[in-house]
Amino acid sequence: MADTILMAHGSGGKLAHRLVEDLIMPAISGTDPARLDDSAIIELRGRMAFTTDSYVIDPIFFPGGDIGKLAVCGTTNDLSMSGARPLYMSLSFIIEEGLPVSDLKRILESIHSAADEAGVRIVTGDTKVVDHGNADKLYVNTAGIGTIPTGVDISGANIRPGDKVILSGTIGDHGIAIMSKREGLQFGTNLLSDCAPLNKLVEDMIGASDNIHALRDPTRGGLATTLNELCLQSGTKVVVEEKKIPIRDEVAAACEMLGLDPMYVANEGKLVAFVTPSDAGKVLSAMRLNKYGTDSAIIGEVEEPDEAPSVVMKTLLGTSRLIDILVGDLLPRIC
């Protein structure tokens, strides 16, 4: 096998076959029935959730994960947030000519282990190679299918005044881990991305209560943007308390240094749940027993809207302010 990916690896010829057979299939064989037909045949019954996503993260390796793990977790989590049990995934690579084969191998290994952990099977895929400069190292596209258990109805539209808002852990870990890697910043400790599959956590939550109204993973745009989307979808007012939102010291410090508001910084292994108040305790306890929910906390509740739907934060000083959707990109300060 060559040391780097060449155009010929995407040509459909011999090199392309060897890439799939020698590198890709072994790495994901544990999750794949290993049939090389043109499409995967799968059996499904009942209500289904179907999602797609593309991953273009730079850098492709970051503290706590890589683009492959991110793709599996991101797809799994999108399905989980509808209450679905993720079952099958597709995986397509667009590779820039010149990518070291060893990098691809590492990424495939992490895809393998993330899929194993999530219990999701990668049943179909594709590989294309583009000229140097026409892509940035590696892009990954996925689709995912899951089944929704009978009786589960989870949607932002179900949120009601009185619901408690539960967050599964600290905010901002992923975004700050990426930024520190990208900019070569050091914050005294090795901060890792929180990138993780959350389907088992969601199963535990659904096992604990039939009254989970909505679930969402606050990825791009952070918690602030997710809460805004949900308040708009449900026509409610969401009130959260700053002091109850878990945040690591190093993330708070990094945000301060870069001039960022952690409410807008991305997460890849967190979820926010809206739950009937009487069940909030049960759900919280179940979450804290899962390794991806040990720092879970009730951070606020839903109220009747004032004039329009809104998200309001009670600050540490006891004052309150609006939390709006992120506009544009998060950028570090320049002065």
Partner 1 sequence: MKYASEFRQGKLAGGVVASISRASRRPVTFMEFCGSHTVAIFRYGIRQVLPKTVTTVSGPGCPICVTANSDLDKAIALALIPGVILASFGDVLRVPGSKTSLQSVRAEGADIRVVYSAMDAVRIAQQNPDQRVVLLGIGFETTAPTIAAAILQAEEMGLRNFTVLSWHKLCPPAIKALLDAGDVALDGLICPGHVSAITGAAAWEFIAQDYGIPCVVSGFEPLDILHCIDMLVAQAENGQAKVEIAYRRGVQQNGNVTAQHLMETVFESCDADWRGMGTIPHSGLRLREDYARFDADREFTIVPGPTREPQGCICGDVLRAVKTPVDCPLFGKSCTPETPVGACMVSSEGSCFTYYLYGGKNG
Q: What does the binding site for partner 1 look like in residue numbers (CB under 8 A)?
A: 182-183, 187-189, 243, 249-250, 252-253, 256, 259, 261, 310, 315-322, 324, 327-329, 331-335
Cβ distance 199 to 149 under 8 Å?
no
**At closest approach, how far in Å is the CB of 193 from partner 1?**
18
Tell me whether the omega of the peptide bond preceding residue 161 falls within 30 degrees of 0, making it cis: no
Cβ distance 268 to 195 under 8 Å?
yes
**At closest approach, how far in Å is the CB of 194 from partner 1?**
18
**At closest approach, how far in Å is the CB of 309 from partner 1?**
12
Closest CB to partner 1 among residues 250, 279: 250
**At closest approach, how far in Å is the CB of 175 from partner 1?**
14
**At closest approach, how far in Å is the CB of 74 from partner 1?**
24
- Backbone φ and ψ of 210, nearest 5°: -90, 0
Closest CB to partner 1 among residues 123, 254: 254
Closest CB to partner 1 among residues 176, 208: 176
Closest CB to partner 1 among residues 119, 246: 246
**At closest approach, how far in Å is the CB of 259 from partner 1?**
6
Closest CB to partner 1 among residues 3, 307: 307
d(CA 160, CA 301): 10
Query: Percent helix, strand, coil in the chain (nearest 5)?
Result: 35, 25, 40
Closest CB to partner 1 among residues 179, 283: 179
Closest CB to partner 1 among residues 25, 185: 185
* DSSP 8-state secondary structure symbol assigned to residue 20: I
- In order of 13, 135, 156, 236, the CA distances from 224 in angstroms are 48, 31, 15, 15
Closest CB to partner 1 among residues 39, 319: 319
> Per residue in 201-228, is it b (16+ CB within 10 Å) or e — as a string?
bbbbbbebbebbbbbbbbbbbbbbbbbb
**At closest approach, how far in Å is the CB of 174 from partner 1?**
18
**At closest approach, how far in Å is the CB of 310 from partner 1?**
8
Closest C-alpha to 120, from 235, 203, 58: 203
d(CA 90, CA 123): 6
Burial of residue 196, with CB atoms counted within 10 A of its CB: 0-12 exposed, 13-18 middle, 19 or more buried: buried
